[in-house]
A = this chain, B = another copy of it.
Amino acid sequence: MARIVQKFGGTSLANIEKINNAARLVAQAVGDGHEVAVVVSAMSGTTNQLAGWAEEISDNLDPCEYDVVVSAGEQITAGLMALAIQKLNIQAQSWLGWQLPIRTDLQHARAHIEKIETEAIAGSLAQGVVAVVPGFQGVDQDNRVATLGRGGSDASAVALAASIRADLCNIYTDVDGVYTSDPRIVAKARKLDKITYEEMLELSSLGAKVLQSRAAELAMRHRVVVQVLSTFHDLPGTLLVDEDSGVEQQIVSGIAFSRDDAKITLTNIPDQPGIAAGIFGPLSQSNINVDMIVQNASGDGASADLTFTVGKNDLESAISVIEGARSSLKYAELMSDDNVTKISVVGVGMRTHAGVAATMFETLAEKGINIQVISTSEIKVSVLIAKEYTELALRSLHTAYGLDSESSSR
């Protein structure tokens, strides 16, 4: 007998038929003798609708009240899932964020889980009652509802699994697992049987949608055994594992992409100390994350061009922050471009294999794709390219790193 967390995403709970289907997966695990806690997202579309209503009222929202509104979606599916499990003659009870409670910090709309009280739920699980917990929500120290930000239900599931020391955390979704790249674009993408926590974290952070990056980080930190698998096909998924757990290390495990970045270039900035701080300080104070940065000295050595990327949603505010500091920054021109894609190759094997970056640059050069910005970390290389080359770049790199499956069937 094991203790299992089963997390269902919004597409797996999109209507009552699908909720009943998910409940059958819960019943199967209970029938196999396991203690089961279920974490649910909102029905697909619900969170967008609720957030849309709030944003229709104001574009400068009190995040505490925003959280009251958007957390309702997971409350609804938690109750419905408990009912659907009960219908299969299995005891089930919902535990809302404030009931467990799931304690968060005070950063509403993007809160972090600090602690999950498990005494009550553990007692209930031990009595054979399935616990159904709404993802995405918790309660802060002032007893107000707090949500974890988009995709936060994955983090809820992994945090719950860590807290109740679950043997396995199954993340049910609408794909069969983690792929070497997005199969909708790269037909030859292969499903991975295993992936290391570090690789999953990089892939998630770099645009792969299959698992939210904070969930990957929590899984890595607490060494939670996570499996990403399909709600709709009864197949093994992809297991997140330790690097030293015997998984055969590929040099590159996956290729992710993101269309959520935008590029800003400042030309002819004086090449002197303090200029970078003058730019990135105010951006950081405005809560704008800067990702890739590259600086090219000009011919005369006295000035330079600076290029960096920010989230596409932050582009407008980033521009206004910089233009507000124009007198001190003394740049010649500000250019922006949101018609870009960030492509990233990820693999723990890079640590010991040279040439991964070189292969990337050569492959893209062969196809005539210009690299605008480069950034690297221990286990990834990311490049920014013009958006129109996204598909070509993904497929070429997938082939170049030997990731193609033998058939293109899924």
Minimal Cβ-Cβ distance residue in B for A16 = B56
24 A-B pairs in the complex with CB atoms less than 8 angstroms apart: A16-B53, A16-B56, A50-B76, A57-B84, A58-B86, A64-B93, A65-B79, A65-B80, A65-B82, A65-B86, A65-B93, A65-B94, A67-B79, A68-B75, A68-B78, A68-B79, A68-B82, A68-B96, A71-B75, A72-B75, A75-B75, A96-B145, A99-B143, A99-B144
A232 at interface, CB cutoff 8 A: no
Which residues of B lie under 8 Å from residue A76 when comparing CB positions? 50, 53, 69, 72
* Whole-angstrom CA separation of A63 from B57 in the bound complex: 34
- Residues of A in contact, count (CB < 8 Å): 39
Q: Quick one: CB contact mask for A77-89 with B, threshold 8 Å, 1 for yes?
A: 0111011101100
Q: Quick one: CB contact mask for A93-121 with B, threshold 8 Å, 1 for yes?
A: 11010110000000000000000000000
Which residues of B lie under 8 Å from residue A86 when comparing CB positions? 58, 62, 65
Give the residue of B54, B82, B94, B98 whose beta carbon is less than 8 angstroms from that of A83. B54
Is there an interface contact between A57 and B16, defined as CB atoms closer than 8 Å? yes
* Whole-angstrom CA separation of A64 from B68 in the bound complex: 21
Seed contacts A53-B76, A66-B83, A72-B76; 9 additional CB < 8 Å A-B pairs:
A19-B57, A64-B93, A65-B80, A65-B82, A65-B86, A68-B79, A72-B73, A75-B75, A99-B143
* Whole-angstrom CA separation of A108 from B86 in the bound complex: 17
* Whole-angstrom CA separation of A64 from B129 in the bound complex: 15
A20 at interface, CB cutoff 8 A: yes
A235 at interface, CB cutoff 8 A: no
CB distance from A139 to the nearest CB of B (A): 9
* Whole-angstrom CA separation of A62 from B76 in the bound complex: 14
A277 at interface, CB cutoff 8 A: no
* Whole-angstrom CA separation of A61 from B57 in the bound complex: 36
Which residues of B lie under 8 Å from residue A80 when comparing CB positions? 53-54, 57, 65, 69
Known contacts A68-B94, A68-B96, A72-B75: A20-B83 contact under CB 8 Å: no
Task: Tell me the A11-27 residues at the B interface (CB within 8 Å).
Answer: 16, 19-20
Which residues of B lie under 8 Å from residue A57 when comparing CB positions? 16, 19-20, 80, 83-84, 87
Task: Tell me the A153-188 residues at the B interface (CB within 8 Å).
Answer: none
Give the residue of B16, B54, B72, B98 whose beta carbon is less than 8 angstroms from that of A72. B72
Which residues of B lie under 8 Å from residue A64 when comparing CB positions? 93
Which residues of B lie under 8 Å from residue A78 when comparing CB positions? 68
* Whole-angstrom CA separation of A96 from B84 in the bound complex: 26
CB distance from A60 to the nearest CB of B (A): 8
* Whole-angstrom CA separation of A73 from B68 in the bound complex: 11
* Whole-angstrom CA separation of A231 from B389 in the bound complex: 56
Which residues of B lie under 8 Å from residue A50 when comparing CB positions? 76
Q: Which of A61, A79, A82 has the most C-beta atoms of chain B within 10 angstroms of its own C-beta?
A: A79
Nearest 4 A/B pairs, CB to CB: A68-B79, A69-B79, A72-B72, A65-B82
Which residues of B lie under 8 Å from residue A19 when comparing CB positions? 57
Minimal Cβ-Cβ distance residue in B for A43 = B53
Q: Quick one: CB contact mask for A360-386 with B, threshold 8 Å, 1 for yes?
A: 000000000000000000000000000
Is there an interface contact between B83 and A61, defined as CB atoms closer than 8 Å? yes
Which residues of B lie under 8 Å from residue A79 when comparing CB positions? 54, 65-69, 72
Which residues of B lie under 8 Å from residue A54 when comparing CB positions? 79-80, 83
* Whole-angstrom CA separation of A67 from B94 in the bound complex: 11
Is there an interface contact between A87 and B58, defined as CB atoms closer than 8 Å? yes
Which residues of B lie under 8 Å from residue A53 when comparing CB positions? 16, 76, 80
